[in-house]
Amino acid sequence: MENAGYFFAAFAIIWAVVFGYVMFLVNKAGKISRQMKAIEEARPRRDQA
């Protein structure tokens, strides 16, 4: 199989980039989750006051 290296390079790059983007999305989801939790914790105190 000639030039298999190039083929795998292309293959690897595609999936590396896609995976990277998915990680970016996962991070964002985590950040949003944390912010929502912070707001949730702040709320009950407001209701009581």
Partner 1 sequence: MEQNVFRKYWLAVLGVVLILVALWMVFLYVPTVTQDGHPFAQRIFYFHVPVDWVAFLSFFIVFIASIAYLRTRDRKWDNIAHSSAELGIIFTSLMLLTGMIWARPAWGVYWVWDPRLTTALVLWFIYVAYLLVRSYAGEEVRGARFAAVLGIVGFIDVPIVALAIVLWRTQHPAPLVFEGGLDGKMMATLMVSLAAFTCLFASLLRVRFSLRKAEYLLRSIEQE
- Site size with partner 1, rule: CB under 8 A: 22
The token pair that represents 43 in the structure block: 């709320």
Helix (H) or strand (E) holding 2: none
Overall size of the chain counted in residues: 49
Taking the complex as a whole, how short is the minimal distance between the CB of residue 38 and partner 1, in angstroms? Answer: 10
From first CA to last CA, the distance across the chain in angstroms is 73
Judged by CB under 8 A, the residue of 19, 36, 45, 48 near partner 1 is: 36
Q: Which residues bind partner 1 (CB under 8 A)?
A: 1-4, 6-7, 9-11, 13-14, 17-18, 21-22, 25, 28-29, 32, 35-36, 39
